[in-house]
């Protein structure tokens, strides 16, 4: 599909239908509301813990303080006035079980909650039941919990306002395909433009005249008849700034990068637009830095690196125009127009292991990048697109002989589309060692005198030393033997393994937050868990590296 503004189309419905996961997974972490304004207190509800007399809130992050234990899944939290804006994870640990962690967004804006989500007898399905929005900007947080549910809100707008509905429903790990109508009070529809470049489509429109309007929120597919409390939404309603993306999409740590920001109502100009600004990345930043621009209430992730970074230099559409790259390097490029091909050249020695890695989809770029490696004669040696699981391509490949090799990048649908939203970051290096561990359970329960397993997947590239896995911070009475995974020099490999936990017969009930650490010749990685939502959705981008190990109460 092209990057342009489409109305809600059959094609879009087909695409989101195809995106539904096939395997049902645990959604026992659900929490409501899904965020709070900093400097306020909020009452959180975890439906999975409704039967539990007393449970403890655990937060991955700083600035959220529980005001006492949670009773029957409900408790209050205080969000500090200086809490960092962005995503944290919250979960509840009871005497026998723990919920999965869920994204929780701390913001600067007031939150208006769906009256139906708070009170089963309330309704906001029609204009005469509409909830009033007194002041913009505001965050609407609710659920489309019954078949055909519509949530109606009412507000005053001015002629030529650019109204933006910044949708973050999948960001909070909800399986929601949010649809929006903007109507005047007579029911006349204001044409709305849909930008579905990101996993959460954004809606915007220009208001035709001063007056009162209604916003009607609904689930586009009715989730194939499977709507419920999990069909949550979080939408920022604003006539002010909203950030889409920036290019370049990242920069080196310890340096300032000049970027162009793309969004809406930027710099006081209504509608889609751009803004130039600088992004300073601290030397100790992680691999992603949350940034915001021009007073927008939302943030995006700015990628960072420890390498030299270059800008793509057009024209580079043919082998003989290939841009030479030092090794290692990070190139920030874009498929700027239809049929854009971006060629690069590296010089390798025989047996050099080339690691070529694309970041595009991961950064919410619209580009679906393919990567080809060719020798000096033009013969194709490697081709990778990784379309199957919709991930960005990565090539680990050993050069057969000394010489120059070309790397050709294209957008899979590039014959019909091009533009700034089709950006990418291209990492190239020789024999870059890498160690990563993913865990598949986020809470493990061990009875006194019994054993339990933490299943792990270990990813390694070009390691020379064997990998040691161990658990740190186990509760008293629980032990785990270390596990060794053989190093595979000059190779990229994944290994399934597990840590076995053993509880002493007299281990006391309780829990601890445990980290699983992997080390190999100077590299260290903590196992992470991808956060999933109801129905196995993994749209929430958060991860956690803390596992609940629980000795259940008898």
Nearest-approach distance from CB 311 to Ca ion, in angstroms: 10
Nearest-approach distance from CB 471 to Ca ion, in angstroms: 42
Of 60, 151, 168, 364, the one binding Ca ion (CB under 5 A) is: 151
DSSP string, 314-359: S---SGGGPEE--SSEEEEEE--STT-EEEEEEEE-TT-EEEEEEE
| Residue nearer to Ca ion on the CB measure, 264 or 423 | 423
Q: What is the dihedral of CA 277, 280, 285, 288, to 10 degrees?
A: 10
386: left (phi over 0), alpha (psi -120 to 50) or beta: left
- Distance separating alpha carbons of residues 330 and 70, to the nearest angstrom: 47
Calculate ∠ Cα 68-72-73, nearest 5°: 70
| Residue nearer to Ca ion on the CB measure, 123 or 526 | 123
Span interacting with Ca ion, options 55-63, 147-155, 287-295, 391-399, rule CB under 5 A: 147-155
3-state DSSP assignment of residue 312: coil
Q: Would you count residue 229 as binding Ca ion (CB under 5 A)?
A: no
| Residue nearer to Ca ion on the CB measure, 232 or 348 | 232
- Distance separating alpha carbons of residues 50 and 94, to the nearest angstrom: 11
Nearest-approach distance from CB 125 to Ca ion, in angstroms: 4
Nearest-approach distance from CB 116 to Ca ion, in angstroms: 4
| Residue nearer to Ca ion on the CB measure, 413 or 504 | 413
Q: Would you count residue 168 as binding Ca ion (CB under 5 A)?
A: no
Nearest-approach distance from CB 31 to Ca ion, in angstroms: 16
| Residue nearer to Ca ion on the CB measure, 317 or 519 | 317
DSSP string, 123-140: ---SGGGPEE--SSSEEE
Nearest-approach distance from CB 168 to Ca ion, in angstroms: 17
Nearest-approach distance from CB 146 to Ca ion, in angstroms: 8
Kindly report the length of the chain: 554
Tokens of 328: 């290692």
Please name the helix (run of DSSP H) or strand (run of DSSP E) that holds residue 425, with its range, or none.
strand 423-430
Q: Would you count residue 340 as binding Ca ion (CB under 5 A)?
A: yes
| Residue nearer to Ca ion on the CB measure, 239 or 247 | 247
| Alpha helices (H) along 89-167 | 115-118
Q: Would you count residue 116 as binding Ca ion (CB under 5 A)?
A: yes
Q: Would you count residue 317 as binding Ca ion (CB under 5 A)?
A: yes
Of 37, 124, 141, 238, the one binding Ca ion (CB under 5 A) is: 124
Closest C-alpha among 284, 278, 277, 279 to residue 254: 284
Of 60, 161, 219, 342, the one binding Ca ion (CB under 5 A) is: 342
Cβ-proximal residues to 182 (8 Å cutoff; 6+ apart), any chain: 163, 189, 190, 192, 203, 205, 213, 214, 215, 216
| Residue nearer to Ca ion on the CB measure, 422 or 452 | 422
Site size with Ca ion, rule: CB under 5 A: 11
Backbone angles phi, psi at 23, to 5 degrees: -95, 125
CB-nearest residue to Ca ion: 116
Of 78, 125, 184, 386, the one binding Ca ion (CB under 5 A) is: 125
Which residues would be at the binding site for Ca ion (CB under 5 A)? 114, 116, 124-125, 142, 149, 151, 316-317, 340, 342
């Amino acid at each position: 599909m092209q990057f342009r503004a489409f109305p809600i189309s059959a094609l879009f419905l087909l695409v989101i239908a195809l995106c539904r996961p096939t395997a049902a997974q645990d959604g026992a972490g659900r929490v409501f509301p899904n965020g709070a304004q900093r400097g306020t207190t909020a009452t959180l509800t975890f439906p999975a813990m409704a039967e539990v007399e007393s449970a403890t809130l655990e937060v991955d992050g700083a600035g959220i303080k529980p005001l006492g234990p949670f009773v029957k899944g409900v408790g209050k939290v205080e969000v500090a006035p200086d809490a960092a804006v962005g995503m944290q994870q919250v979960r509840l640990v009871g005497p026998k079980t723990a919920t999965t962690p869920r994204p929780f967004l701390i913001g600067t804006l007031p939150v208006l909650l769906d009256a139906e989500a708070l009170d089963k007898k309330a309704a906001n399905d029609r204009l005469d039941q509409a909830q009033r929005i007194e002041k913009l900007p505001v965050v609407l947080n609710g659920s489309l919990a019954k078949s055909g549910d519509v949530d109606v809100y009412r507000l005053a707008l001015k002629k030529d306002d650019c109204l933006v509905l910044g949708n973050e429903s999948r960001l909070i790990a909800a399986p929601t395909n949010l649809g929006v109508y903007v109507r005047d009070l007579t029911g006349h529809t204001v044409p709305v433009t849909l930008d579905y470049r990101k996993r959460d489509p954004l809606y915007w429109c220009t208001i035709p005249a001063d007056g009162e309007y209604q916003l009607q929120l609904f689930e586009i597919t009715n989730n194939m008849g499977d709507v419920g409390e999990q069909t949550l939404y979080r939408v920022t309603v604003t006539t002010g700034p909203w950030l889409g993306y920036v290019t370049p999409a990242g920069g080196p740590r310890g340096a300032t990068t000049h970027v162009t920001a793309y969004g809406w109502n930027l710099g006081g100009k209504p509608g889609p637009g751009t803004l130039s600004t600088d992004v300073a990345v601290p030397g100790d930043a992680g691999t992603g830095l949350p940034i915001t621009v021009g007073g927008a209430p939302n943030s995006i992730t700015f990628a960072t690196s420890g390498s030299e970074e270059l800008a793509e230099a057009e024209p580079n559409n043919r082998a003989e125009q290939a841009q030479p790259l030092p090794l290692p390097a990070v190139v920030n490029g874009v498929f700027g127009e239809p049929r854009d091909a971006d060629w690069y050249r590296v010089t390798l020695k025989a047996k050099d292991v080339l690691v070529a890695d694309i970041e595009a989809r991961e950064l919410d770029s619209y580009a679906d990048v393919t990567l080809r490696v060719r020798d000096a004669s033009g013969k194709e040696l490697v081709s990778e697109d990784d379309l199957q699981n919709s991930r960005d391509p990565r090539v680990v490949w050993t050069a057969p002989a000394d010489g120059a090799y070309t790397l050709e990048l294209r957008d899979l649908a590039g014959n019909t589309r091009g533009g700034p939203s089709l950006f990418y970051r291209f990492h190239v290096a020789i024999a870059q060692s890498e160690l990563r561990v993913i865990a598949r359970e986020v809470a493990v329960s061990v009875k006194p005198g019994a054993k339990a397993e933490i299943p792990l997947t270990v990813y390694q590239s070009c390691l020379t030393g064997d990998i040691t896995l161990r658990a740190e911070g186990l509760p008293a009475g629980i032990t785990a033997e270390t596990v060794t995974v053989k190093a595979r020099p000059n190779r990229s490999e994944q290994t399934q393994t597990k840590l076995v936990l053993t509880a002493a017969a007299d281990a006391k009930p309780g829990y601890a937050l445990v980290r699983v650490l992997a080390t190999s010749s100077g590299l260290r990685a903590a196992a992470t868990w991808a956060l999933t939502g109801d129905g196995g959705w993994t749209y929430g981008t958060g991860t956690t590296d803390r596992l609940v190990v629980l000795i259940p109460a008898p």
